[in-house]
Amino acid sequence: MSQTPAFGRRNTKQIHVGKVAVGGGAPITVQSMTTTKTADVQGTLEQIYALAAAGCDIVRCTCNEPEAAEGLAHIVPRSPIPVIADIHHQYKMALAALDAGVQGLRLNPGNIRRPEHIKAVAQECKDRNVPIRIGVNGGSLDPSLYEKHGGITAGAMVESALQEIAYFDEVGFDLVKISVKASNVPLMVEAYRQLSLVTDYPLHLGVTEAGPPPAGLVKATAGIAALLLEGIGDTIRYSLTADPVEEARAGRQLLEALGLRERKNVDLIACPSCGRAEVDVIDVAKRAMDAFADRKLPLQIAVMGCVVNGPGEAREADLGIAAGNKRGHLFVKGINVAVVPESEMVEALVEWAEFINEHGTEAAIARADVAKAEREARLDRGTLLDEKGDDANRASEKIVEIRKRMQ
């Protein structure tokens, strides 16, 4: 299930990284970067396949030594997704990566500074029809820009990107996307806002060095989501101190939550739990997430802690379960279809989700004994209300006090 976002996207030029379109109205892509040594071909490929399975569209590999370039020659033709070579300092590494067949380069203007080297790489990319990402990083600005702007500022980062574009223009190269990342969220957001006003190249969003989860997830989401909601951004990356598969999952989940990509995996919603909860909602939700982790089921599934309010709150979900009287009440599109023992709640969710994914919600409802399920659910709701008594809040006494207050 997908949503239509209520915000317009910034109009940008379109480029292609391999067969993946970026910008120009194409779906926003998720990127990540391998943490293996690129010379380790098998290890790198294993990580790339894990990233692709988690929703990554484009992967970046470091190319910092001749052995890495040679590794790329083996990796690129076997990768399930396009490969970008990450280049720092040595422009010859960029040329070697192109010889290896990569579908894109990432250059940091703060590290390759000689114009003739930059233009040589751009000319080679032009000849091969390979795009370049200008990857400005707040922590590696050219010292002259740092001095000119009095530190790391949004203006300094934007100027760095524009200088690089000027070198590309000299050789007629325009297969470009740009990033202006910083570890400071407000600085990063302002830099992208300024950049979006002066260029129509596609933009790659990220908060660099966001750190480990959960704080890193919060920082990255704060910056990336703020810009996406303004229509800015064509590709994204979560830069986490964690397994890169977590980056890909987070990026995919963010785009799905914003309605910017079709759902591929379960969207599990759950109540935060309260005194009404009949089960440990946190535990049930966690076990459900683990059970659905590797299943490609594009459904919204709700886990609710009580049968008093839970069914109504999860009415729009494809499938939901609410706990009550030591049992789980299963709902399909708000209709009670089954009641199962508490110990079987997660297993029942998986079984019904797989059936719905294959046959649809109408077929799921049709196979259920709805009358029986609703009858049992009604009895459980009544039992829970009876436990509280007819006047659990001593309402009659409180009404007397309220009326006195209003006189």
- pLDDT of residue 269 exceeding 50: yes
**Tokens at 154, concatenated:** 């949004």
Question: When comparing pLDDT for 184 and 5, which is higher?
Answer: 184
Containing 291, the helix (H) or strand (E) segment is helix 281-292
**Farthest CA pair distance, the chain:** 87
Q: What's the pLDDT score for residue 308? A: 63
- pLDDT of residue 389 exceeding 60: no
- 79 vs 192: CA distance, rounded Å: 31
Cβ 129 vs Cβ 101: under 8 Å: no
- pLDDT of residue 1 exceeding 50: no
Q: What's the pLDDT score for residue 309? A: 62
**Tokens at 123, concatenated:** 């000319």
Where along the chain do its domains lie? 15-257, 267-388
Is the domain covering 267-388 a CATH 3.30.413.10 domain?
Answer: yes
Containing 338, the helix (H) or strand (E) segment is strand 335-341
Q: What's the pLDDT score for residue 307? A: 65
With 0-12 / 13-18 / 19 or more C-beta atoms within 10 angstroms meaning exposed / middle / buried, residue 395 is exposed
CATH architecture of 15-257: Alpha-Beta Barrel (3.20)
- Nearest residue to 327 via CA among 338, 341, 337: 341
Task: Tell me the mean pLDDT in the region 101-111.
Answer: 92
Cβ 87 vs Cβ 97: under 8 Å: yes
- 254 vs 263: CA distance, rounded Å: 11
Task: Tell me the mean pLDDT in the region 2-11.
Answer: 67
Q: What's the pLDDT score for residue 399? A: 78
Categorize the per-residue pLDDT at 159 as very low, low, confident or very high, splitting at 50, 70 and 90: very high
- 314 vs 301: CA distance, rounded Å: 8
- 112 vs 99: CA distance, rounded Å: 19
- 193 vs 81: CA distance, rounded Å: 29
